[in-house]
Structure 1
Amino acid sequence: MSNNELDSSIGSTLVTRVTDNTDVPIRSLYAIQPIVLIFFRRFGCQLCRSYALKLSNELHSILKKNNIGFIGIGLEKFGLEEFQAGNYFSGDLYIDQGKKAYQILDLPYLGWIKGITTLFTRSTKLWNDETNKMGVQGNLKGDGFQLGATYVVGPKDGKIWLAHPQKDYGDHPSIDSIVKVLRDNIPEFRE
C-alpha cells in the first residue's frame, strides 16, 4: 500500500465487531480518535497471543489515558473464544471475514515453503523465546501463513502515522516506537 491514508485504501471495508456481531466500516474505528490497530495473523498463534498480551500490559493504559483506541482485527473467528478466554488482548476485537482488508493492504501470505523457513528467522526465534518466558501457549489451528501488521492511525482522515506490516512471524514494532509516534503526533500526549 503506497497511500499514507488508511481511509483511501480500506476505510469503507466492513469488519465484524465481536461484541455484538455488527458489521462496521473500518473508517468508523478512527473517526473520532486515533487508534493503534493490530491485524493478527490468527487467534491461536502463540506469537500473536504474546504480542497482544505485551501490548495490553505495557501500552493499553497509556492509550486509555490519552483516549486512543486499541483495536485488534483477526482474519477468521476460528480460535476467537480461546483468545478471549485467555485475556490476551484488552482492546476491541473485530473479524475481517474473507481477509478483504488484509488483501487490500497487501499483507504477505507466505505459503508452505516460506512459512516453514520463516520459523527460523532471527526475529521469530527471539519473539518465540520472549513468548516462552511469558508462558503463553498456542495451537496450530487455522490459517498459519497469513502475516499481520501494526498501524497507528490518526483520527478523521485515517492518516497513517506508523505502518509496520510483518516480514515474518516475530516481526513487531517496539512499544517505544509506537509511543514515540503517538507523542510526535498528539501535542497533549501523556505517558
Structure 2
Amino acid sequence: MGTERGTRTVADSIGALEVEKVVGATGDLSSVPLSTFWNDQPVLIHVLRRFGCQLCRGGAVEMGKIFPDLEAHGVRIIGIGIEKVGLEDFQKGGFWKGELYIDNGKKIHKALNIQKVGILSSVKMMVSNKSVKDAIKKTKDTPGDFKGDGRQLGATFVLAKGGETLLDFRQEHFGDHPSNAAILEALGLDSSAAKAAPPSEPSVCTDTVAAS
C-alpha cells in the first residue's frame, strides 16, 4: 500500500540508504545516498523489477516518452535495479534514458515493504490476470530473458524538492506501471499530450522473451 501524497514517509524511510551508481550525475561517488536525489530538485524514482523482464523494459521505454518534459522542468530521473543480472543487455538495448543505480540487497524494498509475489501467485498472474496478459501482448516483440529475481515487484515514486511525496505507486502485478499522465499531474505539469499519445510500439526482436 502506498503512502499519502504530501507526507515524507518515503523520503524518511529510504533517505539514508545508499545505491550503487551505474550511470549517474557527474561528481557522484560510486555509492550514493538516496536523499541526494531530492535535496535540490524534484525527482522521479523508478524501481525496476528485473533488467531482463520484457514488461519492465517496455514500461521503461513508455515512461521515457515524458523524460524530455521532466528534464525541461528540472526533474531528476532515476532508475534503480535490484541486481546486476541483465544490466549489460538492458543498457545496450537503450531501454532507460535516465540515471541508473543498483540497490544491492533490496534495501528499498525492505524499508518500504514492496511486495514479492509467491510462486503459485506468479503462475496464476501470468495465466489469468487480464492486465498482465495485455501487457505481455503489447511487449511481445521486446527482447528479454528469464535471468534474475522474477517475482519481486517494483514501484515508482515522485518526490518534491525536499522529499515530500507527490506520487507513490506500488506494483500489484507484473507489468503494472503508473501512466505518464499520472506522473506529470503529480508534478503539476500539463498531461494532455501524454493522455492523447498512443502507447509506444515495441521494437521487433527474435530473441527469447520473458515476462516475469
TM-score, normalized by length of structure 1? 0.89
State how far apart, in whole Å, the 2-side matches of 1:38 and 1:164 are.
10
CA RMSD of superposed structures (Å) = 1.8
Query: How far apart are residue 168 of structure 1 and its match?
Result: 0.1
One of 10, 13, 21 as aligned partner of 2:17: 13
One of 59, 64, 82 as aligned partner of 1:51: 59
Aligned pairs for 1:78-157 within 5 A = 78-119=85-126, 120-132=128-140, 135-156=141-162
Q: Which residue of 1 aligns with 2:172?
A: 167
Q: Retained in 1: the 8 A contact 2:3–2:168? A: no
Query: How far apart are residue 2 of structure 1 and its match?
Result: 4.6
Query: How far apart are residue 70 of structure 1 and its match?
Result: 0.9
Q: Which residue of 2 aligns with 1:40?
A: 48
Q: Which residue of 1 aligns with 2:210?
A: none
Q: Which amino acid aligns with 1:7?
A: A
Number of positions where the alignment pairs a residue of Structure 1 with one of Structure 2: 182
Residues 2 and 61 from structure 1, CA distance in 2 versus in 1: closer, same or farther, beyond 3 angstroms? closer
Query: How far apart are residue 172 of structure 1 and its match?
Result: 1.0
Deviates more, 1:10-19 or 1:21-30: 21-30
Cα deviations by residue, 1:3-56 (Å, 9 ceiling, x for unpaired): 731221110011011137711111111111111110000100000000111111
Q: Retained in 2: the 8 A contact 1:73–1:96? A: yes
Q: Retained in 2: the 8 A contact 1:126–1:170? A: no
* Runs of 4+ more than 2 Å apart: 1-4
State how far apart, in whole Å, the 2-side matches of 1:2 and 1:39 are.
16
Deviates more, 1:13-22 or 1:169-178: 13-22
State how far apart, in whole Å, the 1-side matches of 2:131 and 2:35 are.
32
Q: Retained in 2: the 8 A contact 1:46–1:131? A: yes
Cα deviations by residue, 1:119-145 (Å, 9 ceiling, x for unpaired): 13121112112212xx31111100000
Q: Retained in 2: the 8 A contact 1:11–1:25? A: yes
Give identity over the alignment, percent. 36
